[in-house]
Amino acid sequence: MSYRICVVCMGNICRSPMAEVVLRKTLDDHGLGDLVKVDSAGTGGWHQGGPMDARAAGVLSEHGYDGSEHRARQFLSDWYDRVDLVLAMDAHNLGALRRLAPDGADVRLFRSFDPAAPEGAEVPDPYYGEREGFAEVLEMVEAASKGLAEHLAVILR
């Protein structure tokens, strides 16, 4: 049985799919790809079925990642039955996810796994900004993904 993670942002077209793609590769690089299943979703469903934002996909591609197969989905409360860890991109998403969560659900901020990030650090939403915001998100996601992979290597091996 694999450990299951879902990364969640607002619409599942920018931050969470970037994190999903990066985290998958990071876990593979750490030899954990067969032990951990990574998914992503949004707290809202207005982009359901749509692709990743072109700016997010472009920044990923420039750094050797492939997000072309992503299709947006909405996180639903029954997903807690099949997910071990839910990672929110910001405090707003965290609050929405915790309101849906049953007792004992493991719901945290994604950047809580970045040892260099301050307590409560968020991944800001780049959607309404310029392309450089997506590059900043990628840096944050890569740092937190590395920390999460190191954490999982300890608890899953």
Residue 20, classed as helix, strand or coil, is helix
Asked if 39 and 6 count as a contact pair (C-beta separation under 8 A), the reply is yes
Q: Is 24 a catalytic residue?
A: no
Which of 9, 90, 111, 114 is catalytic? The answer is: 9
Active site residue 125: yes
Residues present in the chain in total: 157
Q: How far is CA 14 from CA 6, 51, 88, 148, in A?
A: 14, 10, 13, 20
Catalytic: which of 39, 53, 90, 125? 125
Say which of 14, 15, 39, 55 is annotated catalytic.
Answer: 15
Give the helix/strand (H/E) hosting 100: helix 91-100
Cβ(38)–Cβ(148) below 8 Å: no
Active site residue 9: yes
Please list the active-site residues: 9, 15, 125
